[in-house]
Amino acid sequence: MSDPQPVYLSDYQPPAYRVTHTELTFDLDPAATRVKARLLIERNDQISDEAPLVLDGEQLKLISLAIDGNALTEADYQLDDNGLRIHTVPASFSLESEVEIAPSTNTALEGLYQSSGMYCTQCEAEGFRRITFYPDRPDVMATFTVTVIGDLQKEPILLANGNPVASGQLEGGRHFVKWEDPHPKPCYLFALVAGNLHKVEDHFTTMSGRDVTLQIWVEEENLDKTEHAMASLKRSMVWDEQTYGREYDLDLFMIVAVNDFNMGAMENKGLNIFNSAAVLTHPQTATDAAFQNVEGIVAHEYFHNWSGNRVTCRDWFQLSLKEGFTVFRDQCFSADTNSAPVKRIQDVSFFRTAQFAEDAGPTAHPIRPDHFIEITNFYTLTIYEKGAEVVRMLCNLVGWENFRRGSDAYFERFDGQAVTIEDFVECMAQASGEDLSQFMRWYSQAGTPEIDAYGEYDYVHSEYRLTLRQRTPATPGQPEKLPLHIPIRMGLVGTKSGQDLTLTLAGEKLGKDAVIHLRDDEHTFVFTNVAEAPVPSLLRDFSAPVKLNFPYSREELAFLLTHDSDGFNRWDAGQRLAMLALDDLIAAHRNGVEKVMDSRVTEAFRALLTGSTANKAVLSEMLTLPSEAYIAEQQPIVDVDAIHAAREFVRQSLALVLRAEFMAIFEANRTDEPYAPTPEQIAQRSLKNIALSYLMSIEDEKAVALCEEQVAADHNMTDVRHALTLLVHSDRDDLSAPALKAFGEKWAHDPLVMDQWFTIQVTRPQPDVLERVQFLMQQPAFSIKNPNKVRALIGAFAQNRVNFHRLDGKGYALLADVVIELNRLNPEIAARLVTPLTRWQRFDENRQSLMRAQLERIKKEPLSSNVYEVVEKALA
Ligand code: PHE
Ligand code: ZN
């Protein structure tokens, strides 16, 4: 077998044939579903009449094939593993085909498959080719009519895109429903669901007064877990009308929850399919974080109706066109709905940990890749989150009003079309008159730009000179980088006044908070009329996805922590201050020197704990230390144990000195109010629980009792999970073992709670975790075929830094075993799961060779193209 080959953006050719209308009939059966297709096809004008018709198709059993009703014989076409080529076809015709597929054995969860007994589909990116022969590419858009035939008892509910137009009973206990979707769409947005589903229904009146029926379809036992998703959906619909002027365009909008799903959710036209984890919530079963996640994902999928569905991508290299824009839209929605600064802090904190790591590793790629082997490997933090950061920069560069005009133009001009990233940026350039040509490099250059900054205050001339130098490190395939256009939002905070000073640059007054533009490799900005020595506050609100180094002293950081007018940068100053202390402690640990806590950090924490910060949500973030993963990102070579020890030392030192303050915060934020996922309550719970974490880091007897009490009170899952986690992660196995057992028994019937039960156990720092993972994999609640279970148990274990990176290499071997098994069952999940091993370059030599050995072992297997691509890059 030859190695899988990449496809290149530069090879793009418009389709030779269009499909104008698609008619499908599904006769459902677990092992032998029949799919009949009737496609109305037209040759594109510029194409010669000799051009063959090439259709994608994988794992399809061809039953029959005809053109305009005339059956084709084997001489008329050529069939292989990837599809079908019909040698000659008329300029305009109908193609009729029938194939057989087996949903019950489809463990890849792409195409038509079964999940908990129901049928569902996943077609993005290239899953439709496992359903029928078709030009499976997003620039072929057709209207669809779909008839679904199922068993009246087993599949009473039969759903597809659009509106139901007919239904009825058939012989043999079968029945059918016929659906029509009037909006032309690419086949990746096709969806079908069939099974014994139950619905919750609501209504929404659009801005032009149309009534839309909203339905959430779930298994019967989950009917009480849909309220929050429904409320989130309605808020999203209002928000998109008010913020972007976008109205929903069908009479029916459906969401379905399925248990087996590779990703979070999918924006199929009118029939969004969700991972049950991304839609179901209940105060007793879901945490605050889960509630917020559901709100964001419901919004994200809904927003795709315009940014993705009405206007879609020309080809999969343009994936960030829909994903970057839609993530930006859902981030803004969540910011408007909850606490804007906290949303930004959480997003950036995650971004700087996970996306920066991706950008620094062997799979680094631009937001618009120029080649790939397997597109499912490119649903990445770079395409999604960095893509969103770039759209955010665009929005800030042109200003919201121009951005909105550009967005209106984009939706109007390209409605019903499949377009490119240039088309989007061009709308923004036209709406604003800005030259965005240099800005386009953000789409083609991989890697995280680093800015080295330094500043000098000239007392004599009252000038502040700020020098910025940019550099983007080489990434695989991109040794040389060009300078980017980097917008830097900033202020100069007067050291005497503690206030933002007016910024005057080249004679122009910019106000107290302004954006400066770095376009060259290096530039010195000279601010004049600076009346007092300032501390610069740079990259406010994380105005660009870069690493910014400035030689701040700890005193300057402590100053910014209290005085910066930008909430994001106040938080960031605290993180930088903690990082400096952590760096010292990591070094001390490595050198075997006694660790000494930096009193400036302690005093900063004391001020936070006793001060009058009105915003509890922001305060919680400020009290959260950088994670071990984030600290690791800052180190040249990751020393797993030193990082863990240093961070624990800081937590314990703070808890010892500020015990009373943490206890006071805990007490002040307890409440018996009935649970509600409101920003106020969420902030209060999070503050209370952070205080409890610090107290538990020293296993304070009172804190242990409070944890037990909080678990026993069983008020809501956020509190229960937090306290149970603290107990399990402490050395009090005498208490945590029975608590875990009780929890596992109580929730054995609820897969989403059992996912949490797995994660709590395999993320603890104690050295028995590997054996626990092996034991839990044998439990009936675990299934390697369910992606949520794999993520909750194996994925979570691989994030357990001290245990995954054990020096005997057994953590790596365990992960490799699972990757090898999943490579056969679900290549998409296998390729994602292998990621931690691909980061071997970041570790010490011993771990490097252990990690590489496992990658080599995986490479010897007969690999799916998904895993092949990742492992190949990791070992290159
Ligand atoms: N397009 C989906 C989203 O971003 C994600 C997805 C991709 C889901 C591929 C399934 C398969 O919302
Ligand atoms: Zn998306």
ipTM confidence score: 0.99
134, 55 in Cβ contact below 8 A? yes
Give 1's pLDDT tier (boundaries 50, 70, 90): low
CA distance 574 to 111: 48
874, 362 in Cβ contact below 8 A? yes
DSSP 492-532: EEETTT-SEEPEEETTEEEESSEEEEE-SSEEEEEE----S
First to last CA, the chain: 20
In this structure, the residue with its CA closest to atom 12 of ligand 1 is 266
Q: What is the pLDDT of the chain when averaged over all its residues?
A: 98
Q: In terms of DSSP bridges, do strands 418-419 and 312-313 run parallel, antiparallel, or are they unpaired? A: parallel
For residue 267, give the ligand 1 atom closest to its CA.
Answer: 12
Distance 435 CA to ligand 2 centre (A): 28
Distance 454 CA to ligand 1 centre (A): 42
* The pLDDT value given to residue 659: 98
Give pTM, 2 decimals.
0.99
Q: In terms of DSSP bridges, do strands 192-195 and 174-185 run parallel, antiparallel, or are they unpaired? A: unpaired
Decide: 300 in ligand 1 pocket, CB within 6 A.
yes
- Identity of residue 246: R
pLDDT in tens, 753-800: 999 999 999 999 999 999 999 999 999 999 999 999 999 999 999 999
pLDDT in tens, 571-630: 999 999 999 999 999 999 999 999 999 999 999 999 999 987 679 999 999 999 999 999
CA distance 680 to 428: 37
166, 226 in Cβ contact below 8 A? no
- Mean pLDDT, to the nearest integer, of 214-231? 98
Superfamily the domain 748-875 falls into: Peptidase M1, alanyl aminopeptidase, C-terminal domain (1.25.50.10)
* The pLDDT value given to residue 570: 97
663, 596 in Cβ contact below 8 A? no
User: Is 603 labeled as catalytic in the residue annotation?
Assistant: no
Distance 308 CA to ligand 2 centre (A): 8
> Active site residue: 295, 301, 389, 628, which one?
301
CA distance 395 to 402: 8
* The pLDDT value given to residue 125: 98
Decide: 379 in ligand 1 pocket, CB within 6 A.
yes
Instruction: Write down the architecture of domain 314-443 according to CATH.
Output: Orthogonal Bundle (1.10)
In this structure, the residue with its CA closest to atom 11 of ligand 1 is 124
CA distance 842 to 838: 10
DSSP alpha helices (H): ranges in 62-154?
A: none
In this structure, the residue with its CA closest to atom 3 of ligand 1 is 266
Domains 7-196 and 450-537 share a fold: yes
In this structure, the residue with its CA closest to atom 2 of ligand 1 is 266
- Mean pLDDT, to the nearest integer, of 176-205? 98
542, 562 in Cβ contact below 8 A? no
- Mean pLDDT, to the nearest integer, of 843-847? 98
pLDDT score of 716 more than 80 = yes
Pocket test of ligand 1: the residue of 120, 123, 124 to mutate, having most ligand atoms within 8 Å of its CB, is: 124
Decide: 295 in ligand 1 pocket, CB within 6 A.
no
For residue 304, give the ligand 1 atom closest to its CA.
Answer: 12
pLDDT in tens, 84-104: 999 999 999 999 999 999 999
For residue 125, give the ligand 1 atom closest to its CA.
Answer: 9
* The pLDDT value given to residue 722: 98
Distance 20 CA to ligand 2 centre (A): 26
* The pLDDT value given to residue 612: 78
Distance 82 CA to ligand 1 centre (A): 23
In this structure, the residue with its CA closest to atom 9 of ligand 1 is 124
The residues spanned by each domain of the chain are 7-196, 314-443, 450-537, 748-875
Decide: 124 in ligand 1 pocket, CB within 6 A.
yes
- Other Cβ atoms closer than 10 A to 596: 12
Decide: 719 in ligand 1 pocket, CB within 6 A.
no
For residue 297, give the ligand 1 atom closest to its CA.
Answer: 12
Buried b (16+ CB within 10 A) or exposed e, 354-377: bbbbbbbbbbbbbbbbeebbbbbb
Which residue did the predictor score with more confidence, 700 or 526? 526
Distance 558 CA to ligand 2 centre (A): 39
In this structure, the residue with its CA closest to atom 1 of ligand 1 is 266
- Identity of residue 156: P
425, 440 in Cβ contact below 8 A? yes
Pick 450-537's CATH classification: 3.30.360.10, 1.10.730.10, 2.60.40.1840, 2.40.30.20: 2.60.40.1840
Structure tokens belonging to residue 281: 């919530």
Decide: 267 in ligand 1 pocket, CB within 6 A.
yes
For residue 308, give the ligand 1 atom closest to its CA.
Answer: 1
Distance 77 CA to ligand 1 centre (A): 33
CA distance 812 to 559: 44
CATH class of 7-196: mainly beta
CA distance 395 to 138: 26
User: What are the C-alpha distances in Å from 641 to residues 487, 595, 648, 767, 803?
Assistant: 37, 14, 11, 12, 10
